[in-house]
Amino acid sequence: MKMWMDVMRDLESVMDDHERILDAWAEGGVDGVVFGPLVFGTNRLSQGAKVLESGQVVAAAYDPNPAVYERLGVETPVAPEHKLPEKRALLEKTMSAAKQRGMEVYIMYADNGAGPGGDGYYMSDEKTIRSRVARMVDTFEHFPMADGAVMDGPEWGYEIAPHHMNHRSYFFNDLPEAVAPMAAEMGYDYKGLVAGKDRLLELFHSFDPQRIRLHARGGLVGAYQLFGADPDVMAWLSFRVQSLTGYFRGIREGLTAELGRTVKLGCGPRSAAFAPLCGYDFEQLAQFMDFLMPKHYFFHRGFDGFIGTVHRYSETLCEWNPSLSVAESLSVVEALFGIVLPGVEEMVDFESALSPEFFEQVVTLETKRALAAVDDPERIVPWLDTGRFPHDGDPMSARDLQMLLDTADEAGLRRFNYHHQGNLSPGEWVVISNKCGTRWDPRTSAYEPPDELVL
């Protein structure tokens, strides 16, 4: 198994000592590095910090080339006030040094800093997509050593806990009036979609044990009945997939047409079970995306964690429907996502859900589902986040990481992307380097994982 290392919002800590760090990563099995967003000055924004250190400058890593934006008929972004030439040169040197070691180089959020687009909803607005493409073209022209780009979002919401809205989009807020023209252009009845969404929300407040026992494990038709047998709800789910697929296709086609060289492009859906609700269709995306990066985030609490999301669904359904047991709420989750958490029957069981059975069953299934969408396992590169504070979630130990990697490996996974290097702990690096390269020995190595809790 091989890996990419994600350098996210933490450019300087790698740039300033890149020779030593890249050597250590290469020895540990890293054969690709993901840099981005390409903005300086954010590496000190650690957990709990709300402001940057005094005198620290936040600035984009390059000036926009007006010719690119003029060619595409969009507004040129404002150039950063601070040029920081020494940092710019060092970033390019770091990227080139990675290439010299045989690593692939990817840019995350290559469209970061794009100028304004059109007036329509961004997923289908032609000018907005051109603006995003222009920024990506500009980025690649400034960094010719880059092999490709990683897109993390957009996506439709997937959480039903209203209190979680500050972290991720609330599922039932996903049909603002701004999408009405886009829906009409795609052949959908916007008012019908909204009505279906509202009926589904009402239904989620009116589940009873008898209805769940009757339908939840009744296969496709039973689940359809459980969720109201509502064609408008099914149309809403189809709209989510069609609109998001169209957005990514527009970016892919625009980049191919406007950039004078071939680059790889990938996107990061949630784990396979949740991805369709967010609008990600692995099979369709794999037709034009070079690789997919599902979130192999399995922690509790925080945001984007697999167990955390299931817990919030169960908790919210029980709050909305006091007559339901936890087990009954989980039957609804199983009908909606196909998820079964072994050994979880009560709320307290979520605290110990990361059992060997969880890795054997859930991680295996999520890995195999993703791999089924592609013709080459190298095209599935899951984001992996464990450690002390993954995405604000509960810690996952080195033992958990070992079980995760071993299980995914047995399921056919060939590489992953560690998110992100600023948070890498010694225990994780021992496990990862042992799995992917030469096991790290702190007694002899000049490298020490940062272990910093950087957001």
pLDDT in tens, 117-159: 999 999 999 999 999 999 999 999 999 999 999 999 999 999 9
pTM, two decimal places = 0.95
- Say what the pLDDT of residue 162 is: 83
pLDDT of residue 77: 97
Residue 167's pLDDT band (cuts 50, 70, 90): low
Contact 43, 61 (CB under 8 A): no
- Give the integer Cα–Cα distance in Å for 448 and 441: 10
Q: Which residues are CB-neighbours of 176 under 8 A, at least 6 positions away?
A: none
Predicted confidence (pLDDT) per residue in 64-118, tens digit: 999 999 999 999 999 999 999 999 999 999 999 999 999 999 999 999 999 999 9
Segment among 49-63, 111-125, 258-272 with least mean pLDDT: 49-63
Contact 291, 151 (CB under 8 A): no
Position 8 scores a pLDDT of: 87
pLDDT at 317 over 50: yes
Average pLDDT over the chain, rounded to an integer: 94
All domains in the chain, ordered by first residue: 2-159+243-312+356-436 (3.20.20.80)
Tokens of 51: 């402001």
**pLDDT > 90 fraction of the chain, expressed in percent and rounded:** 91
Say if residue 28's pLDDT is above 80.
yes
pLDDT at position 427 is 98
pLDDT at res. 10: 84
| pLDDT for the residue 165 | 60
Question: HEC states along the chain?
Answer: CEEEEEECCCHHHHHCCHHHHHHHHHHHCEEEEEECCCEECCCCCECCCCCCCCCCCCEECCCCCHHHHHHHCCCCCCCCCCCCHHHHHHHHHHHHHHHHCCCEEEEECCCCCCCCCCCCCCCCCHHHHHHHHHHHHHHHHHCCCCCEEEECCCCCCCECCHHHCCCCCEHHHCCCHHHHHHHHHCCCCHHHHHHHHHHHHHHHCCCCHHHHHHHCCCHHHHHHHHCCCCHHHHHHHHHHHHHHHHHHHHHHHHHHHHCCCCCEEEECCCCCCCHHHHCCCHHHHCCCCCEECCEECCCCECCCCHHHHHHHHHHHHHHHCCCCCHHHHHHHHHHHHCCCCCCCCCHHHHHHCCCHHHHHHHHHHHHHHHHCCCCCHHHECCEECCECCHHHECCECHHHHHHHHHHHHHHCCCEEEECCHHHCCHHHHHHHHHHHCCCCCCCCCCCCCCCCCEC
211 has pLDDT over 60: yes
Q: What is the pLDDT of residue 57?
A: 85
44 band by pLDDT with thresholds 50, 70 and 90: low
The residue with tokens 């390409």 is 38
